[in-house]
Structure 1
């Protein structure tokens, strides 16, 4: 025969999925409370999506995480292997016989005269392949200052639960969460319970929460590995009335986030500082696929929260 390489050499590899393909399957089925919570959230997300016709994500982003290994007949081997590749074997036999002068043109081909060497046989070989899935990290931010006591906090926290379950369903449980609360300063808290229950009597600066998100993302290089979602909830109060610092950090965040959404829960129809400077900035018009803002009355019924959810995720 002809060609480079020794008998038994691997001559080519093919991935199980194309580079831009979407992996299949979900998170591992571990045991314990964490698995139960994620399974319950996934199921609730499925029910919400189907019952209330929530939109499915058309583009989950390009970030992938290794979740498991698959084994498939994707490698090609010459001389030996599990399953013969008839097409590639025929090509190799023809190359060999052309090199030997047995085939010198398309006319008068006589396959009975072909010489078939062992190394002309091309096999498919069982190979270990990485299987990738899209993954998301969602930041939940909320104002926990004194003005948020009661119905506004209940509305925001309830909607954030709905958002989390929806994302769990969309990303097949591949969702990690981070929780940030703020008054004039922001801090990350360890879990949803702390996030939902925490409160202080201080003032409000939205920029503190956005600054902390941006710091975490850049220092941990999260944009490289995750599809990032940031959902903010508050009553719209902000001591920074023109939002200069908030808008500065927001524009940075929009360079890497898949979606940023602000939901204002307020007891009246008075336009808040946050709503005013977001509208005046024209960022909502410039980035309609990345940035959303919505308002709900506080207290809010579940149906109103779901309709608001549709508006910020569609």
Structure 2
């Protein structure tokens, strides 16, 4: 049984416990961990009798779990590419979110942040989604390109509306990009992982034995991830805008108007630094679904009252 799956199933954690766990997994040092160290950590988890006593006070085992959970995909047991590991999400999305919420000064400054943001989030979502089945590289590229193009188009709508109609109401000018960012971020997850509700994802019992593939579990996994992503980007865009609104009315801003960029960037970094682990912790990594909510063909294969599935990130 894949150690990461066993860990998330065995550890019945509250939101606070998941949050504390994710703050460790999002440690930037997980991006530079060598393959050799990861392999040694995985070997320790496979061979040590104490590895699954999760309260054990052994720093080697704790470090092994940290490396494994932050770098290895629980479905495929393969290494996650460095740029798409959870620890890379914050540093790579903060600049694009910041630039996408700044007033556009031309088509280039309007399009590039949107393309960069949705290109990365699409890749991240596809890599860290459920991997119960495999599809060919051309299919992945075609799906990814379509999702990036559509997400970018919808993300540009509030900026195009402002350019065409010259909106004067400051509340609408600020609210429109925030609402679209949250909505498009959620829809980006639905589109990137659109095959999961169609083909179904693997559901397993508490021992990790795969029972079958469920489309309903696939819909639940994608929906939960989409909600967490919408909350992440919506909040990360909203709070800096509120701070900016009040900051513009201070004497300090009137004397130092160039400080607005620094404040907004710092605020975006701070808010996203909090919201990334919060959003990843909103729902369990290995979700649970009631027996009664599964398809009849899966119900006929097991007597378990509750089954598990990998939600993805």
With normalisation by structure 1, the TM-score equals 0.24
Q: Which has the higher strand share?
A: 1
Q: Which has the higher helix share?
A: 2
Larger radius of gyration: 1
With normalisation by structure 2, the TM-score equals 0.24
